[in-house]
Each structure stands twice: as structure tokens, then as C-alpha cells.
Amino acid sequence: MSETTILSPSKPSFIKEALRLGKLRLSTSVVFSSVAGYFLGMEVFSWVQLLLLIFGGITVVAASNAYNQIYEKDRDALMNRTKGRPLPLGTLSLREAWFIATFLLAVGLWALYVINPMTAYFGALSVVLYTLVYTPLKAKTPLAVFVGAIPGAIPYMLGWVAARNDFDIETGTLFAQQFFWQFPHFWAIAWVLDDDYKKAGYRLLPLASGRSKSTAALIFISSALLVPISVLPFMISMSGMRSVILLALGSLALTYMAAKLYRSLSIKDAKTLMFASILYNPFVLVVLLIDKI
């Protein structure tokens, strides 16, 4: 008689699950904007500052992601997009998740503080707004997106603050670009994933009418706002005419895609806008960096 041995799947490594909890890939992509901000603002290059910014930025963003997953673990289990995360799966305990998040936050803020206290302050502010304000508001009101856009815009200017140890008009311009870009970006995502979000009680589209003409009109307006904002770097002598033309054309292209969504109200056009907005952000950074060189 043959016997069948049933092997239980091995538990993933703690390190691997810790990286998934902190969304390492997303954290690294967010810090790209901080690095770009550093190069835009730097007057004297410092490898030490840059490496501290990268390390501190990644760990602080990862801590925010971890705290977010701790708070939303029950809702994450209800959505197809998030039910495979470590806490809903049980591959990390809640105590382990708290330890990982707190450790990442501590070492991240320490690294940013070594650069200068102002950088650490803005890093801490982004974590507080994201985890203690934006995350709880997500299930209560679509206005959460406006709150979430603030910590979402901080990494871009964080690099400038790290390089200059100052908050000036250039810093505010970088913040404004990143802040307003997030509305067409996140509303396009919310349009695509609206059905999945509703399973967990989230309503992230700006209007109760959901995938409607009124909602699409707001997405169009938020995209169109990027056109005048793209001119700001030129107005404050932060970039030249060639750069501002490229930025304006990029903003117009994004607005055109938002207009297509307004006409069709289709998930296909929402996906196009979503992917275009993902490309738009590094496009802006690269244009400004090339202009400085």
C-alpha cells in the first residue's frame, strides 16, 4: 500500500515578508523623487547626504506603508488587490508588523536628522499625515485623497530641503507639482479599482455618483491644472523656456487623456490615464534635471 505524504507549505522568510510589508519597490520609486529634488537643489554634492537621504527616505516610506497595512489589515482581506498581503495571509503577526514599522521609522528619521533637522521634520510630518489622518479617513470620505496628497508630495521637496536646509519658493514649487499631479493619478486608479475598493467600504472617487460625467469632469480639471503649474519653474527662474515648453506639452497630453475619459467614461481610458500619469511624474523630474545640467 502506498502512502501519500502531504507537505505543508513552508512559511516565507521573515525578511521577505518584512520587505513586502514595507512595499520596498514602491518605497524605492517614491524616493526617486527625493533624489531628483536633491540634485535640483544641491549647491555642493555630498555622497554622505545622498546616501542618508536614500536610506532614510526608503525606510520612512516603508514605515508608513507598514503602519497603513496594520490599520487596514481587515479591509485588505476583503479586496482582491490586497488580500495577498502579509497580515491578511498571516505570514506576519501583528506584533511583528508593529516592530518592523517602528524600527523602520526610528532608523529612517535618524538618517534624515543626520542630514539636517528640517529634513527629519518633513519626513515625520509625512508619516503622521499618512498614517494618522489619511489612512483612517479613507473609509469615511473621498476628501481623504486631498489629505493624502500632502504626504505624497513631501518626498519631492524633501531632497531639496536635504540639499539646502531651507524651505523657499523653489521648494514650494516642487511641492505644488507633486501635490496636484496626484489627483488625476489617484482618481484614475480609483476609477479602475472602484468595484474592488467598494468591497472594503472605500469610496475614493471624488463624487458619490462614482464613474460619472461629473467625476470625469473633476479628473479633467485636475489634469488641466497641471498646465499652469508646469509654468511655475520658469516664472521663478528655476528652469528655462525649453523645459517649460516640454512640461506644458506633457501636461497637455495628460489633459487630453483625461478628456478622452470624460467622453467615454470607460475603464480602458481610465487605465490609459493612470499609466500616463505614472510616466508623467518621472518625465517632469528628468526635464528639470536636464535643464539644470
Which helix (H) or strand (E) segment is 162 a member of? Answer: helix 144-164
* Architecture of the domain spanning 13-167: Orthogonal Bundle (1.10)
Q: Give Cβ neighbours of residue 264 (< 8 Å, ≥ 6 apart).
A: none
Annotate 192-228 with b (16+ C-beta within 10 A) or e (fewer): bbbeebeebebbbbbeeeebeeebbebbbebbbbbbe
Q: How far, in Å, CA of 92 to CA of 87, rounded?
A: 6
Mean predicted confidence (pLDDT) in 29-46: 90
Residue 114: pLDDT over 50: yes
Average pLDDT of the chain, as a whole number = 90
Q: What is the pLDDT of residues 240-274, one digit of tens each?
A: 888 889 999 999 999 999 999 999 999 999 999 99
Q: How far, in Å, CA of 77 to CA of 89, rounded?
A: 8
User: pLDDT: is 46 or 201 the higher one?
Assistant: 46
Q: What is the pLDDT of residue 111?
A: 97
pLDDT band for 10, please (50, 70, 90 cuts). low
Residue for grid cell 510616466: 279
Residue 9: pLDDT over 60: no
pLDDT band for 100, please (50, 70, 90 cuts). very high
Q: What is the pLDDT of residues 176-213, one digit of tens each?
A: 999 999 999 999 999 999 888 888 888 888 888 889 99
Domain residue ranges of the chain, discontinuous segments joined by + = 13-167, 169-293
Phi-psi region of 131 (alpha: psi -120 to 50; beta: other; left: phi over 0): alpha
